[in-house]
Amino acid sequence: MKQTYSAKENEVEKKWYVVDLEGEVLGRAATKIATILRGKNKPTFTPHIDTGDFVVVLNAAKVVLTGKKWSDKVYYKHSGYIGGMKATTASQMRATHPERLVEFAVYGMLPKNKLGRKLIKKLKVFTGAEHTHQAQKPQVIKLSEIM
């Protein structure tokens, strides 16, 4: 009788991918990026093991939101003090820190545990078309190629 295969952390081969988000819808792109980070696109996927790959995201400043989300979508953070809640709209976030739009969207689609915190570190987001990870020889992929 065959047993279910369970990947080991040291057996998993990690690859590097480059994704260009110019003109892509943020939520649809984030789901596909989260799939790669998690490793769900591999046949060796194991839920409790990091089987995913590294993702370098380019042109985060040129991502698209549909509808009126640029003005209506609000990101909240709290300092921990009374009255310390700060609210930022998506358009303000794009003007100041456009890479955070992608990071927050992808982070919301990862597990809310130690594994999720480990996986988000494999996401490298850049606002422009240049990145600093040429030494890893990343493969360029289109989001339409992913599942």
Please give the tally of structural domains in the chain: 1
pTM value > 0.85: yes
Beta strands across the sheet bearing 123-125 = 123-125, 54-58, 16-20, 139-140
CATH (domain of 101)? 3.90.1180.10
The verdict on residue 116 lying in a domain is: yes
What does DSSP assign to residue 141? -
Structural domain boundaries enclosing 126: 15-65+97-145
**Position 1 in a domain:** no
Tell me the DSSP string of 73-122: -EEEEE-SSTT-EEEEEHHHHHHH-HHHHHHHHHHTTS-SSHHHHHHGGG
pLDDT of residue 57: 97
Q: pLDDT (tens digit, 9 = 90+) per residue, 35-65?
A: 999 999 999 999 999 999 999 999 999 999 9
